[in-house]
Amino acid sequence: MNNALIGLVLLVVGGVLLFFGFSANGSFTSEMSKFFQGAPSDKSIWLVVAGALIAASGLAQLMRSRRTA
């Protein structure tokens, strides 16, 4: 049960980071970065990457805890 809770928390935190990353991707600063550099801002990229990795690890933890239970 404890591993499932950790997995769920990681999944939620990853989802929140993904939300903020995609929101930052559409921000004025990121749009200016895309216009001048051709790429979104570093902050939005890092938020999306971190969110995806944390959410994936949370999902893996949830699946592992369900399999062993």
Q: How far apart are CA 26 and CA 20, in angstroms?
A: 10
Q: How far apart are CA 48 and CA 8, in angstroms?
A: 18
Closest CA to 9 of 54, 52, 46, 50: 54
Rounded to whole angstroms, the maximal C-alpha distance in the chain is 52
For 51, the domain range is 2-68
Quote the number of domains for the chain.
Answer: 1
What confidence score (pLDDT) does residue 42 get? Answer: 86
What is the value of pTM for the model shown? 0.83
What confidence score (pLDDT) does residue 1 get? Answer: 65
Roughly how many angstroms between the first and final C-alpha of the chain, as a whole number? 8
Where the chain has pLDDT below 50, the residues are none
Contact 18, 45 (CB under 8 A): no
